[in-house]
Chain A
Amino acid sequence: DGGITQSPKYLFRKEGQNVTLSCEQNLNHDAMYWYRQDPGQGLRLIYYSQIVNDFQKGDIAEGYSVSREKKESFPLTVTSAQKNPTAFYLCASTLNRGQPQHFGDGTRLSIL
């Protein structure tokens, strides 16, 4: 079955530590997105990538970094510069051109 796989499901970060969230899709989608979801605030765009080896900052990119070396993969690194990283992180993908985005089941990141 085609879909988007996010791992791990739960992640804990220590102070000063960088952590990487994985997102893999086998839908052959061109575009991939990372969103952050906080209670009462909806989903906010962190980074997006429309093609391999290219990505753009979203609305809240500070303290995050990404790479897009393969079409199937779009990992997100939460760096120590992100002072409030506790949130639910969602990865999505789409064929682009206005097609709906499909989501993974998210990674919940907490601070130790």
Chain B
Amino acid sequence: QKEVEQDPGPLSVPEGAIVSLNCTYSNSAFQYFMWYRQYSRKGPELLMYTYSSGNKEDGRFTAQVDKSSKYISLFIRDSQPSDSATYLCAMSARSNSGYALNFGKGTSLLVTP
């Protein structure tokens, strides 16, 4: 079983919809959780960073971490066509490789006008 599972989509929603993106993981040692957005032919851009469990909100974006269920979510409110991108979840823990990130495969999102 891969350590981080993420549905690759694609996910298509109309402009203004609420988008829900999710990842599950198997390693209970993960403490740091991130969401990145990646546009085509660009590097991943950090959207949200959370330590341990709980919620974090930043503008239209909300990240949730449920360590008891080993499940993390990213919600996008009032989605815009400019949100069309691939969304990568990533997580890390102190290990022999420092804090190297473990990534999901990414979910492709298309927001249609």
Q: A residues within 8 Å of B by Cβ? A: 4, 6, 31, 33, 40-43, 45, 48, 50, 56, 58, 88, 90, 92, 94, 96-106, 108
Contacts and interface: CB of A to CB of B under 8 A. Distances in A.
Given A90-B44, A103-B44, A104-B43, A43 B98 contact: no
Interface stretch (B10-18, B54-62, B72-80, B100-108): B100-108
Interface of B: 6, 8, 31-32, 34, 36, 41-46, 49, 51, 88, 90, 92, 94, 96-101, 103-106
A56 B51 CA distance: 25
Given A102-B46, A104-B43, A43 B103 contact: yes
Given A40-B8, A105-B43, A31 B99 contact: yes
A100 B44 CA distance: 12
Contacts of A4: 43
A98 B93 CA distance: 7
Given A40-B8, A40-B105, A106-B41, A98 B51 contact: yes
A82 B106 CA distance: 25
Closest 10 CB pairs of A and B: A103-B43, A42-B105, A43-B103, A105-B43, A42-B103, A100-B49, A98-B32, A103-B44, A50-B98, A106-B43
Contact of A97 (B6, B90, B99, B103): B99
